[in-house]
Amino acid sequence: MYKCCIFDLDGTLINSIKAIAYSCNLTLKKYNLGPIDEDTYKILVGDGYKKLIERALIHCGDNSLENYEDA
């Protein structure tokens, strides 16, 4: 008998791009970067949250990823 089932909701059962854009833009704002529009986030997502932060920072001009670890 299974006690737990884990699966990826986003893109399958729900569309969370608005929430992703909102929270990532809050993070970028902390470093005086962004915001990024929702359509761009559709391109930046995939491969997990760490890769999203990396892509978002680079997109906003932090090519050296100076803020990556803190973000």
Could you give the residue numbers annotated as active site? 8
Q: How far apart are CA 14 and CA 17, in angstroms?
A: 9
DSSP helix/strand/coil, 51: helix
Peptide bond into 35 cis (omega under 30): yes
Segment holding 6, helix H or strand E: none
